[in-house]
Chains A and B, each alone.
Chain A
Amino acid sequence: MDVLVCLKRVPLAGGTLILTPDSRDIETKHLGFGISPHEENAVEAGVQLVEQMGGTLTLLTLGPSDAEEQLRSQLAIGATRAVLLETDGQEWDPQGTAAALVDAINAEETKFDLIIFGAESADSAGYQIHIRVAHALNRPIITNVKSMKVENGVAVCDRVVAAGREHYEVALPAIVTVRDGLNIPRYPSVPGRMQARKKPVDMKKAEARVPKLEKVNLALAPSKSTGAEILGNGVDAVPALVEVLKKIGTF
């Protein structure tokens, strides 16, 4: 079974965001980088499939050359090899990104049985690159998958909706997009990290296209917060909280 996972390097921002002076990006000087939780689940799913069924797991990303860091860290948990489509560091629009991923997938000798994406990217959240790739490759796609099994060449997938769980099945080759909670991604082991340094990462240059969804700039969302009223310290503050809960009608 040959599996491909598509992932994107994103800043690991948890607290307050700061914009660059031109307001086109977030300031990343003091931030680390990673990939979206959904994509961590995608890699873990790929590793598990290859462990169970044999085969290879390839990683594919389009981004700056620094994205090698994210590829190596995911190679460390068990992927076989990686391909980096190198940009000049500018973020591409979804159509341009999808087209470059499609070209790269078509250029591969391996005809992947399963291609796994995250449900949406953590930073730009366009909700579309995977669907565009599916159309271009003429492959069926199941999105937002929360549990997945592959049996006899069929991907058996569930997704969670308000009313419960929906069940889907599709014959391979296919594309699946997965959500956080699909599995618990493992941490890389020390030997895993050592091996990852030696695993092949193919670097290819990618030519940018004129974006059709053209980012002009970014702004911080206004925050409505005024800050909390501090009721006090430790158990001494409990009676005050009980009064608050009574006042707002909790009980």
Chain B
Amino acid sequence: MILVLVDHDRGELDQLSLRALTAARKLGQDVEAVVVGKEAASLAAIVGEYGAKVLHVAAHANITDYTPMATGRALKDLVEKLKPAAVLAAGSPRGNEQLAHLAAFLDLPMAAECSEITLGNPHHVLRARWAGNLIESANVHADLLIASVLAFSTEPESANSGAATVSEFEPSLEPQDYAVKVLSRDAGESKGGVTLTDAKVIVSGGRGVGGPEGFGQIEELATLLGGTVGCSRVVTSSGWRPHAEQVGQTGTKVAPDLYIAAGISGAMQHIAGMKNSKTIVVINTDPEAPILGYADYAIIGDLHQVLPALTSAIRQAKG
């Protein structure tokens, strides 16, 4: 049996978990799912549709919101009882974190961000490294495989099956398991406008913009196209723009309909964050810039001339 940790936020399903369920089904064994928190018992229908026969619900008076170490303990209790061949979760910050707590409790290896899993002795995985630019082939020496499923490596596929049977249990929590938990939440830096992850159009600037003032042109074009501003890490580490706008490996991963990269060279850590954009347009003085290898269209030229010309041409075309 394969046990899949299905993540949720206050009862709302994490969509990446459906991919983890799909990946689990491909291993050719029965699939069961586990959620932590009573409010997620309502996910039995969707979890069942994606192939889990049973939904284990870890319920405890001290699990009132996201509590990663308590998840680790609940998974440990379940693993000891059910003896699955593998425990999988989505390769998201939360999926990786909760599995790492399980691995630490059991002192077993954990393979993060796997794009392929083969059960055996040893188990074998392919996993992403260097922001997905490298694929590691690795053996995992343990009876129980603990692995997270690389986001977007598996398309979610419904199994068209009925709701999972709900089985509630109380994990044997120790006080330290819930010492760290979410105490409160607010809307954060999102100013109510279009956020990077939701934006259909992103106009992104890099070192080539030259300074904070230059972003006026970027903002103007982004607003005109109903989009938002992005940037490279050089821009945030120079303090020209807030980090919330950084696209890439250590920033935000985006996939808009249109990504315009102005004055960005295309380091692999930047590419890692925007390569899934539908159409990529580059404005760069350097015809050899690596980003051209990933783009659909390019203008070779100075962004300080091209951007204002583009903005006024679009205004004219819009009438």
CB within 8 Å of B: which residues of A?
A: 13-17, 26, 36-38, 93-95, 119, 122-128, 131-132, 134-136, 138, 140-144, 158, 160-170, 179-181, 184-185, 211-221, 223-225, 227-235, 237-239, 241-242, 244-246, 248-251
Contact assessment for B103 and A167 in the assembled complex, using a CB-CB cutoff below 8 Å: no
Interface string of B259-294 (1 = CB under 8 A from A): 000000101110000010011111000010010111
Closest-by-CB residue of A relative to B291 is: A228
- Whole-angstrom distance from the CB of A240 to the nearest CB of chain B? 8
User: Which of A14, A158, A213, A238 contacts B313, CB < 8 Å?
Assistant: A238
Contact assessment for B246 and A180 in the assembled complex, using a CB-CB cutoff below 8 Å: yes
Within 8 Å CB of A128, what residues of B? 96, 100, 103-104, 110, 112
Contact assessment for A229 and B136 in the assembled complex, using a CB-CB cutoff below 8 Å: no
Q: Is B97 an interface residue (CB 8 A)?
A: yes
Contact assessment for B269 and A126 in the assembled complex, using a CB-CB cutoff below 8 Å: no
If A215-B137, A228-B297, A234-B306 are given as contacts, then 11 extra A-B residue pairs at C-beta distance below 8 Å, sorted by A number, are A17-B134, A17-B268, A123-B129, A131-B100, A164-B187, A165-B188, A229-B297, A238-B310, A238-B313, A248-B278, A250-B257
Contact assessment for A142 and B66 in the assembled complex, using a CB-CB cutoff below 8 Å: no
- Whole-angstrom distance from the CB of B129 to the nearest CB of chain A? 6
Residue among B108, B265, B281, B302 with most chain A CB within 10 A: B281
The 10 A-B residue pairs with the shortest CB-CB distance in the complex, in nearest-first order: A181-B243, A165-B188, A234-B301, A180-B250, A164-B188, A228-B295, A127-B96, A14-B267, A135-B104, A212-B109
Contact assessment for A17 and B140 in the assembled complex, using a CB-CB cutoff below 8 Å: no
- Whole-angstrom distance from the CB of A12 to the nearest CB of chain B? 10
Q: Which of B236-251 contact A (CB under 8 A)?
A: 236-237, 239, 243-244, 246, 249-251
- Whole-angstrom distance from the CB of A186 to the nearest CB of chain B? 11
Closest-by-CB residue of A relative to B302 is: A234
The contact sample of 11 A-B pairs, CB cut-off 8 A, is A13-B268, A124-B129, A125-B129, A134-B104, A184-B236, A184-B237, A216-B136, A218-B129, A223-B294, A248-B279, A250-B258
Contact assessment for B130 and A167 in the assembled complex, using a CB-CB cutoff below 8 Å: no
Within 8 Å CB of B269, what residues of A? 14
**How many B residues have CB within 8 A of the partner chain?**
95
Contact assessment for A163 and B185 in the assembled complex, using a CB-CB cutoff below 8 Å: yes
User: Which of A214, A216, A220 contacts B134, CB < 8 Å?
Assistant: A220
Q: Which of B287-319 contact A (CB under 8 A)?
A: 287, 290, 292-302, 305-306, 309-310, 313-314, 317-318
- Bound-state CA distance A119–B47 (Å) is 30
Q: Which of B175-220 contact A (CB under 8 A)?
A: 176, 179-190, 197, 201
- Whole-angstrom distance from the CB of B155 to the nearest CB of chain A? 16
Contact assessment for B104 and A230 in the assembled complex, using a CB-CB cutoff below 8 Å: no
Within 8 Å CB of A94, what residues of B? 109-110
Within 8 Å CB of B258, what residues of A? 245, 248, 250
Q: Is B79 an interface residue (CB 8 A)?
A: no
Contacts across chains A and B counted by CB atoms under 8 Å? 257
Contact assessment for B290 and A170 in the assembled complex, using a CB-CB cutoff below 8 Å: no
- Bound-state CA distance A218–B188 (Å) is 39
Contact assessment for A15 and B268 in the assembled complex, using a CB-CB cutoff below 8 Å: yes
User: Which of B9, B140, B176 contacts A140, CB < 8 Å?
Assistant: B176
- Whole-angstrom distance from the CB of B287 to the nearest CB of chain A? 7
Within 8 Å CB of B275, what residues of A? 224
- Whole-angstrom distance from the CB of B104 to the nearest CB of chain A? 4
- Whole-angstrom distance from the CB of B269 to the nearest CB of chain A? 7
Within 8 Å CB of A232, what residues of B? 299-300
Closest-by-CB residue of A relative to B195 is: A162
User: Which of B105, B187, B292, B306 contacts A235, CB < 8 Å?
Assistant: B306
- Bound-state CA distance A127–B135 (Å) is 16
Given A93-B109, A128-B96, verify A140-B179 contact (CB < 8 Å): yes
Q: Is B93 an interface residue (CB 8 A)?
A: yes
Within 8 Å CB of B97, what residues of A? 127, 131, 143-144
- Whole-angstrom distance from the CB of B302 to the nearest CB of chain A? 7
Within 8 Å CB of A143, what residues of B? 68, 93, 97
Q: Is B142 an interface residue (CB 8 A)?
A: yes
- Bound-state CA distance A165–B188 (Å) is 5
Contact assessment for B301 and A228 in the assembled complex, using a CB-CB cutoff below 8 Å: no
Contact assessment for B110 and A245 in the assembled complex, using a CB-CB cutoff below 8 Å: no
Closest-by-CB residue of B relative to A124 is: B129
Within 8 Å CB of B302, what residues of A? 234
- Whole-angstrom distance from the CB of B126 to the nearest CB of chain A? 8
Within 8 Å CB of B137, what residues of A? 215-219
Contact assessment for B184 and A167 in the assembled complex, using a CB-CB cutoff below 8 Å: yes
Closest-by-CB residue of B relative to A213 is: B109
User: Which of A15, A165, A185, A241 contacts B187, CB < 8 Å?
Assistant: A165
Within 8 Å CB of A234, what residues of B? 299-302, 305-306
Q: Is B133 an interface residue (CB 8 A)?
A: yes
Given A214-B122, A214-B141, A251-B314, verify A138-B281 contact (CB < 8 Å): no
